[in-house]
């Protein structure tokens, strides 16, 4: 299993009574596998990982592991306000079959405290640990210097999920200090996916229901056919931009997945928020625009 390519961050489905919805997970895995993605990332911010109990987390991880084809990687998000619980979560995820940990920072904005956290958690597991650099969600800024020190001091940390825009400038700076050994996944809803691939990103790890578009773009990039990659990216950008709207990203994706018959409900755990009907309608208008351009995208029943 290589930690490269397109890894959709997926939402966690719930039933109407608030319980986990394992049947929807099963449909989702099939849906995504059919798009030829390289793996799935669960329990990220989009996965509402922080809204689950420990038992629920374990059940979800185990379910994905059981369902996922062996050629698809399973990345599990871990983030905790302190090092010990993060270690326990990471160890548990490894036990349950995670291929890699996506580790978000605790909430203390001090370099030494962050370095120690990444060192200790990564040491506690044998699988790769991906640094999650997403200040808009975590509230923590990680400088190029800090990330470089984390990378250099931990054997199983050689990848970062970079969501601190402008991402191009940070990629260039990291390439100077950490070299090419530090691999970068683009994210941020794929808003800068093309430009990140041009700068050497090894893949995109983000929530986008229509992940087949990212897969196709990735394949053009791998083949060095940048013109085709660019044309494709510019075409689908209206759609992934819309999915990525702040605040309602989780709800919007769940509503789309429900309309596509993958999820049985669009329930988001309180305090939500929920996307409005208009936002969903505007999304499908973009889908239909792309269909008219010839993209065979799944649509909601009329």
Where do contacts with a second copy occur on this chain (CB under 8 A)? Answer: 18, 48, 50-55, 80-85, 88, 106, 108-111, 113-114, 116-117, 120, 141, 143, 165-166, 168-169, 172, 191-192, 195, 198-199, 230-231, 233-235, 237-238, 241-242, 245-248, 269-273, 275-276, 278-279, 282, 285-286, 289
Two tokens, residue 272: 């939500």
Give the relative orientation of helices 249-259 and 22-33 as an angle to the nearest 10 degrees: 80
Min dist. Cβ of residue 261 to a second copy (A): 25
Nearer to a second copy (CB atom), residue 84 or residue 299: 84
Min dist. Cβ of residue 169 to a second copy (A): 5
The answer to whether the beta carbons of residues 253 and 11 sit under 8 Å apart is yes
Nearer to a second copy (CB atom), residue 153 or residue 282: 282
* b/e code 143-177 from CB counts within 10 Å (16+ = b): ebebbbbbbeebeebbbbbbbbeebeebbeebeee
User: Which strands sit side by side in the sheet containing 39-42, from one edge to the other?
Assistant: 5-6, 203-204, 183-186, 159-162, 129-133, 100-103, 73-78, 39-42
Nearer to a second copy (CB atom), residue 89 or residue 160: 89
How many Å separate Cα 105 from the centre of its chain? Answer: 16
Nearer to a second copy (CB atom), residue 233 or residue 263: 233
Nearer to a second copy (CB atom), residue 63 or residue 120: 120
Min dist. Cβ of residue 70 to a second copy (A): 31
Min dist. Cβ of residue 125 to a second copy (A): 16
CA–CA dist 281, 279 (Å, integer): 5
Min dist. Cβ of residue 68 to a second copy (A): 26
């Amino acid at each position: 299993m290589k930690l490269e390519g397109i890894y959709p961050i997926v939402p966690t489905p719930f039933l109407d009574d608030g319980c986990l919805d394992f049947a929807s997970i099963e449909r989702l895995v099939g849906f995504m596998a059919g798009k030829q993605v390289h793996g799935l990332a669960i329990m990220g911010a989009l996965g509402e990982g922080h809204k689950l109990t420990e038992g629920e987390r374990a059940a979800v991880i185990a379910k994905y592991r059981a369902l996922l084809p062996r050629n698809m990687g399973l990345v599990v998000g871990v983030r905790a306000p302190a090092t010990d619980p993060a270690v326990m979560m990471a160890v548990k995820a490894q036990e349950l079959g995670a291929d890699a940990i996506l580790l978000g920072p605790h909430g203390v904005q001090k370099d030494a405290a962050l370095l120690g956290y990444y060192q200790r958690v990564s040491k506690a597991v044998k699988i790769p640990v991906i640094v999650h650099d997403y200040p808009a969600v975590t509230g923590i800024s990680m400088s190029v210097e800090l990330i470089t020190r984390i990378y250099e001091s931990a054997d199983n940390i050689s990848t970062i999920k970079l969501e601190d825009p402008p991402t191009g400038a940070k990629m260039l700076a990291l390439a100077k200090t950490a070299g090419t050994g530090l691999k970068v996944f683009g994210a941020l809803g794929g808003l800068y996916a093309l430009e990140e691939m041009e700068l050497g990103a090894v893949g995109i790890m983000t929530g986008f229901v229509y992940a087949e578009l990212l897969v196709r773009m990735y394949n053009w990039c791998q083949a060095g056919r940048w013109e085709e990659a660019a044309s494709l990216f510019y075409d689908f950008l209206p759609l992934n931009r819309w999915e990525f709207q702040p605040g309602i990203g989780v709800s919007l994706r769940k509503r789309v997945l429900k309309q596509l018959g993958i999820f049985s409900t669009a329930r988001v755990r309180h305090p939500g928020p929920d996307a409005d009907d208009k936002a969903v309608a505007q999304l499908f208008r973009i889908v239909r625009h792309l269909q008219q351009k010839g993209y065979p995208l799944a649509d909601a029943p009329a």
